[in-house]
Amino acid sequence: MNFATIKKYDIANGLGVRVSLFVSGCTHHCKGCFNEVAWDFTYGKLFSKDIEAEIIEELKKPMISGLTLLGGEPMEPQNQRGLIQFLKRVKKELPNKDIWCYTGYTLETDLLQGKAHIDITDEFLHLIDVLVDGKFIEELKDITLKFRGSSNQRVIDMNQTLATNQIVLFNL
């Protein structure tokens, strides 16, 4: 798996100050996407153990609230495979840091079943605290929304959603 960039002090993609990993590769190709360069799965650099260690060190800083995954598309099947062990490591070594994930896929139709669901998706979803789901739709763009670009997108509390088997929106 490749990644496009790492932002070590990001305040735009989740609550608090975060480390954001922009993975490479996306098949959605949303009109008006802010990061078209990351559509290419070969763009950027290889996500290696050294990069993992660098992110872990940044996450250890007290002012950092957690990790955000975006891209590109973290939930593309090959990116899920590239990220799963890293997410397990973050949860084990830094249990007080939360994990946000942005995806153009929809939880019910694409991730719990459907085209982005693979053998590790359920485990992957259990490692995420907040999921921002749904494709960016330029015609529904709304700059007043917190942590999302268009009004069709949802900010989902994954811990509550998985515990209750119904969509629970994150309290912003």
CA distance 150 to 169: 16
Query: What's the confidence (pLDDT) of residue 139?
Result: 97
Residues 13-39, mean pLDDT to the nearest whole number: 95
pLDDT tens figures, 129-152: 999 999 999 999 999 999 999 999
pLDDT tens figures, 43-96: 999 999 999 999 999 999 999 999 999 999 999 999 999 999 999 999 999 999
- Whether 62 and 15 have beta carbons less than 8 Å apart is answered as no
* Amino acid at residue number 129: D
* Amino acid at residue number 161: T
1 closest CA partner among 73, 90, 89, 93: 73
* Amino acid at residue number 64: I
Please name the fold of domain 2-164. Answer: TIM Barrel (3.20.20)
pLDDT tens figures, 108-134: 999 999 999 999 999 999 999 999 999
For tokens 């593309």, the residue is: 76
Question: pLDDT band at 34, cuts 50/70/90?
Answer: confident
Query: What's the confidence (pLDDT) of residue 49?
Result: 97
CA distance 107 to 139: 21
Question: pLDDT band at 172, cuts 50/70/90?
Answer: confident
**Domain parsing of the chain, residue ranges:** 2-164
Specify the pTM.
Answer: 0.96
Task: Name the token pair of 53.
Answer: 């260690």
Backbone angles phi, psi at 63, to 5 degrees: -80, -10
